[in-house]
């Protein structure tokens, strides 16, 4: 094994660790927590996971793997109003798809509701918590500012007996939602706003997806997270930077329960923010609910299920996350980096095939009618042993409309009158004429072919400037393709606080094209998850709505980043 799996050994390799790994390494080396390493990934089941969560997952599970520890999956299910088992199931699937597993360590914050309640009772008895009858608006108004102290609640000095009685009755359901809260009695003048008597419990009467109607009070994040970590034996509680100011409160509540032997430690890294998309679950939910996209797994969504449906691979996502790394300051990452990782991975994996998106017919007038032959195509020159497949060739073929110009500019190396091109894997053809309809649209192109120019024949090495993809008209199979572009046409929609994010949606983010012609091999081999490279066009994968009589392909990504080219030219 590598030295990294033995971090306490003197020879342990320290190089190449990110700052979180370095902390973990040092803690293990110092023998903290008896040399144990246990992390957790704590999603709230109130939406589907997105690529930002993937960054957290890669950290939480990755560091545990790297140093021989374990990682818990803990559903942070403290708000029954927004949570649902649909999300729980989806979260499990997405973590597995990314390549991580939590074994039997699946936990729920709701498992700890009894213990948290007991702790609240104890804190009340010790004079460290009180029931406040004020509205949330009144409480917010007394919060103060970072430079001015807050104001104490008129209910702050209630007797222990009254607090116990009220809190118990809150939980029995005697009061309405919002009527009362339980607050920690800490310091309304603290420099840290989170210490100004934070709310521990609120009344919620919506049944919980796991505990039903057992509870009428639910703990706040700050009163649940650190203790949940402690109850589970989590040693390193890794989260994102917005929790830095919460850390003292995390430690404060942990101090109330921890003994000498062990304590969890919160460490923060920067969130993933990606250009041309949004990462807020609230906004993603709105897109779904309002029908602005076709569900959580719409291939334009930054959700993990959306990326999967679009044809992204877990390896590409993980490579991208490794590339951007983990830091202690917020940044915006270019989606081009993610797209680069996707192309890089698919280049190695995708089967090369022919598909014509916008077909025009070519008739090869000197090729005998009714005659066909097959040409051999490499499945993937980037992958040894990926083999070859046969593709039919005949008198009538389809090429892309864009690959022909009647009056081409100089340096147009594709098909034009009297100009020669090679049909990939087959013959050289020369354009001898065009047919048009009454409106002047080209309906058919006539060519002749050079019978000596096929691979293996004497004229095979004759140089021509252009090579086109094509499919045999007699054998082509119709398909639908869905061409996706960026969901937003603004680089950082979250930064445009003056505008509604819906206004910034890219109206051309989905283009559905029917009448696409694919070679028979595509129809024969297309299954859920198959990765194709439509040569000269891009990477495509069958959609789950695709079936034999109606093939549908999602475009994962174009071959080259046209957006980048545009940006460079500008
Ligand atoms: P909410 O706004 O509902 O709290 P959230 O995106 O924080 O949404 P959680 O389910 O609480 O969702 O997140 C689970 C974990 O994923 C947390 O540890 C959180 O820090 C991490 N996480 C969430 N968004 C990102 C992101 N963009 N980049 C990295 N980590 C993230
Ligand atoms: Mg959160």
Tens digit of each residue's pLDDT (9 = 90 or more) over 352-365: 999 999 999 999 99
Residues 553 and 531 sit within 8 Å (Cβ to Cβ): no
Tens digit of each residue's pLDDT (9 = 90 or more) over 426-478: 999 999 999 999 999 999 999 999 999 998 888 888 999 999 999 999 999 99
By alpha-carbon position, which residue is closest to atom 18 of ligand 1?
239
Instruction: Please provide residue 458's backbone torsions phi and psi, each rounded to the nearest 5 degrees.
Output: -55, -35
Mean pLDDT, residues 309-332 = 97
Q: Which atom of ligand 1 is nearest to the CA of 273?
A: 27
Rounded Cα gap, residues 259 and 115, in angstroms:
16
Mean pLDDT, residues 182-189 = 98
Angle at 536 between CA 535 and CA 538, to 5 degrees: 75
* Residue 52 CB–ligand 1 contact under 6 Å: yes
Contacts of 384 (CB under 8 A, 6+ apart): none
Tens digit of each residue's pLDDT (9 = 90 or more) over 255-302: 999 988 899 999 999 999 999 999 999 999 999 999 999 999 999 999
Rounded Cα gap, residues 255 and 304, in angstroms:
37
Residues 394 and 467 sit within 8 Å (Cβ to Cβ): no
By alpha-carbon position, which residue is closest to atom 16 of ligand 1?
53
Rounded Cα gap, residues 65 and 101, in angstroms:
10
d(CA 44, ligand 2 centre) in Å: 7
Q: CB count, 10 Å around CB of 329?
A: 7
* Residue 56 CB–ligand 1 contact under 6 Å: yes
Q: What percent of the chain has pLDDT over 90?
A: 93
Task: State the pLDDT at residue 189.
Answer: 97
pLDDT exceeds cutoff 90 at 563: no
Nearest ligand for residue 284 CA: 1
Residues 482 and 510 sit within 8 Å (Cβ to Cβ): yes
Instruction: Please provide residue 23's backbone torsions phi and psi, each rounded to the nearest 5 degrees.
Output: -65, -45
d(CA 549, ligand 1 centre) in Å: 41
Tens digit of each residue's pLDDT (9 = 90 or more) over 74-114: 999 999 999 999 999 999 999 999 999 999 999 999 999 99
By alpha-carbon position, which residue is closest to atom 26 of ligand 1?
52
Alpha helix segments (H runs only) across 67-180: 85-98, 113-125, 136-141, 160-172
Task: State the pLDDT at residue 11.
Answer: 41
Task: State the pLDDT at residue 2.
Answer: 38
Instruction: Please provide residue 316's backbone torsions phi and psi, each rounded to the nearest 5 degrees.
Output: -65, -45
Q: Which atom of ligand 1 is nearest to the CA of 279?
A: 27
Mean pLDDT, residues 496-516 = 97
Nearest ligand for residue 240 CA: 1
d(CA 280, ligand 2 centre) in Å: 10
Rounded Cα gap, residues 141 and 383, in angstroms:
64
Instruction: Please provide residue 285's backbone torsions phi and psi, each rounded to the nearest 5 degrees.
Output: -60, -40
Q: In 197-270, which ranges are E strands?
A: 199-203, 217-219, 236-240, 265-269
Task: Give the global pTM.
Answer: 0.93
Residues 446 and 432 sit within 8 Å (Cβ to Cβ): yes
Q: Pick the range with the lowest mean pLDDT from 112-116, 178-182, 190-194, 461-465.
A: 461-465
pLDDT exceeds cutoff 60 at 203: yes
* Residue 279 CB–ligand 1 contact under 6 Å: yes
Residues 559 and 337 sit within 8 Å (Cβ to Cβ): no
pLDDT exceeds cutoff 80 at 10: no
d(CA 184, ligand 1 centre) in Å: 25
Task: State the pLDDT at residue 501.
Answer: 97
By alpha-carbon position, which residue is closest to atom 9 of ligand 1?
43
Task: State the pLDDT at residue 84.
Answer: 92
Residues 473 and 515 sit within 8 Å (Cβ to Cβ): no
* Residue 319 CB–ligand 1 contact under 6 Å: no
Mean pLDDT, residues 10-21 = 73
* Residue 55 CB–ligand 1 contact under 6 Å: yes
Task: State the pLDDT at residue 1.
Answer: 34
CA distances from 394 to 376, 424, 427, 456, 526 (A): 14, 14, 11, 18, 24
Q: How confident is the model at residue 15 (pLDDT cuts 50, 70, 90)?
A: low
Q: Which atom of ligand 1 is nearest to the CA of 60?
A: 18
d(CA 226, ligand 2 centre) in Å: 14
Give the residue numbers annotated as catalytic, written as ranges: 44, 271, 281
* Residue 239 CB–ligand 1 contact under 6 Å: yes
Task: State the pLDDT at residue 72.
Answer: 98
* Residue 44 CB–ligand 1 contact under 6 Å: yes
Pairing mode of beta strands 420-423, 372-378: unpaired
Tens digit of each residue's pLDDT (9 = 90 or more) over 50-71: 999 999 999 999 999 999 999 9
Rounded Cα gap, residues 238 and 342, in angstroms:
27
Contacts of 428 (CB under 8 A, 6+ apart): 420, 421, 422, 449, 450, 453, 459, 462, 464
Tens digit of each residue's pLDDT (9 = 90 or more) over 405-416: 999 999 999 999
């Amino acid at each position: 094994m590598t030295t990294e799996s033995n971090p306490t050994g003197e020879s342990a390799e320290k190089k190449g660790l990110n700052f979180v790994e370095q902390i973990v390494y040092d803690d293990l080396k110092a023998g903290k927590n008896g040399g144990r390493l246990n992390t957790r990934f704590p999603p709230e089941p109130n939406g589907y996971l997105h690529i930002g969560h993937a960054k957290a997952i890669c950290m939480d599970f990755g560091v545990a793997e790297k140093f021989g520890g374990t990682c818990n999956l803990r559903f942070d299910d403290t708000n029954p109003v927004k949570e649902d088992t649909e999300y729980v199931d989806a979260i499990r699937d997405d973590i597995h798809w990314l390549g991580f597993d939590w074994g039997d360590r699946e936990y729920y914050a709701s498992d700890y509701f009894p213990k948290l309640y007991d702790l609240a009772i104890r804190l009340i008895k010790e004079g460290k918590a009180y029931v406040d009858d004020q509205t949330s608006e009144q409480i917010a108004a007394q919060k103060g500012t970072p430079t001015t102290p807050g104001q104490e609640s008129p209910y702050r000095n209630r007797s222990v007996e009254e607090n116990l009685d009220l809190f118990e009755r809150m939980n029995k359901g005697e009061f309405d939602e919002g009527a009362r809260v339980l607050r920690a009695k800490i310091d309304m003048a603290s420099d840290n706003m989170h210490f100004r008597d934070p709310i521990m419990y609120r009344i919620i009467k919506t049944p919980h997806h796991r505990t039903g109607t057992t509870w009428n009070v639910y703990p706040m994040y700050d009163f649940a997270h650190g203790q949940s970590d402690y109850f589970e034996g989590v040693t390193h509680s890794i989260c994102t930077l917005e929790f830095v100011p919460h850390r003292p409160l995390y430690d404060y509540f942990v101090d109330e329960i921890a003994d000498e032997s062990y304590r969890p430690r919160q460490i923060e890294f920067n969130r993933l923010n990606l250009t041309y998309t949004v990462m807020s679950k609230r906004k993603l939910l709105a897109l779904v609910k309002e029908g602005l996209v076709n569900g959580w797994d719409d291939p334009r969504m930054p959700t993990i299920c959306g990326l999967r449906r679009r044809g992204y691979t877990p390896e590409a996502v993980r490579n991208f996350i490794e590339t951007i790394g983990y830091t202690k300051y917020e940044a915006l990452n270019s989606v081009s980096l993610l797209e680069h990782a996707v192309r890089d991975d698919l280049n190695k994996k995708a089967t090369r095939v022919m598909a014509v998106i916008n077909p025009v017919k070519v008739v090869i007038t000197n090729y005998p009618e009714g005659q066909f032959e097959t040409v051999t195509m490499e499945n993937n020159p980037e992958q040894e042993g990926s083999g070859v497949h046969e593709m039919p060739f005949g008198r009538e073929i389809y090429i892309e409309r864009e690959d022909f110009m009647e009056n081409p500019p100089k340096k147009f190396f594709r098909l034009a009158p009297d100009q020669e091109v090679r049909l990939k894997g087959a013959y050289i053809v020369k354009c001898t004429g065009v047919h048009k309809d009454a409106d002047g649209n080209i309906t058919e192109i006539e060519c002749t072919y050079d019978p000596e120019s096929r691979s293996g024949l004497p004229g095979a090495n004759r140089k021509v400037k252009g090579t086109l993809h094509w499919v045999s008209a007699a054998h082509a199979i119709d398909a639908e393709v869905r061409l996706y572009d960026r969901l937003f046409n603004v680089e950082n929609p979250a930064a445009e606080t003056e505008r509604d994010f819906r206004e910034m949606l890219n109206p051309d983010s989905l283009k559905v094209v029917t009448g696409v012609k694919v070679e028979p091999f595509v129809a024969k081999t297309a299954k859920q998850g198959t990765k194709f490279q439509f040569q000269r066009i891009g990477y495509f994968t069958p959609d789950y709505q695709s079936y034999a009589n109606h093939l549908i392909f999602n475009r994962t990504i174009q071959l080259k980043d046209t957006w980048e080219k545009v940006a460079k030219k500008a």
